[in-house]
């Protein structure tokens, strides 16, 4: 092993995953690093940030707005890499970006997980008991 070389993997965090871990306060990045046993470089799409900002400024869903504001602060504080990847639908962008860039995706969305599995993309998700699970990862 060469000294000074740090190996890391890029993980694209889906909006619903980040909001879910804030409902059960968990350090998402640390938990994913423990699961993968490697340093994680967190990634989020610019379109997801816009989605979070929309939720954060909503008057109708106060709890969701509060969680979205906390997620936005977390993304800023933890230095997420923000990637511009424009598609009509956020899920389409996540699937395409993860296939093209080789991201692992952290999501709790069942339909998105199915699409990612079909595209041979590794997925991290949170089970009902708060434990993280990994599908399809090949180091």
Instruction: Answer yes or no: are the C-beta atoms of 8 and 38 closer than 8 Å.
Output: yes
In-domain check, residue 79: yes
In-domain check, residue 94: yes
Q: Which residues, including other chains, have CB under 8 Å from residue 64's CB and lie 6 or more apart?
A: 19, 55, 58
Closest CA to 54 of 37, 42, 72, 36: 72
In-domain check, residue 67: yes
Residue 53: which domain range? 8-135
In-domain check, residue 71: yes
Residue range 46-69, pLDDT digits in tens? 999 999 999 999 877 788 899 999
In-domain check, residue 3: no
**The domain spanning residue 61 has which CATH number?**
3.40.50.1010
Residue range 74-117, pLDDT digits in tens? 999 999 999 987 767 889 999 999 999 999 999 999 999 999 99
Token duo for residue 14: 């889906």
- Split into its structural domains, the chain has a count of 1
Q: Is the dihedral of CA 16, 21, 27, 32 positive or negative?
A: negative
């Amino acid at each position: 092993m060469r000294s000074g070389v740090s190996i890391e993997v890029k993980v694209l965090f889906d909006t619903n995953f980040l909001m879910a871990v804030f409902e059960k306060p968990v350090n998402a990045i640390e938990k994913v690093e423990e699961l993968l046993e490697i340093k994680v470089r967190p990634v989020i799409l610019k379109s997801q940030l816009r989605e979070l900002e929309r939720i954060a400024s909503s008057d109708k869903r106060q709890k969701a707005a509060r969680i979205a504001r906390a997620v936005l602060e977390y993304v800023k504080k933890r230095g997420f890499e923000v990637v511009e990847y424009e598609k009509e639908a956020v899920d389409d962008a996540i699937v395409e970006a993860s296939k093209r860039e080789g991201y692992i995706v952290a999501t709790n969305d069942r339909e998105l997980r199915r699409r990612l599995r079909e595209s041979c993309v590794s997925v991290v998700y949170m089970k009902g008991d708060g434990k993280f699970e990994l599908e399809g990862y090949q180091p």
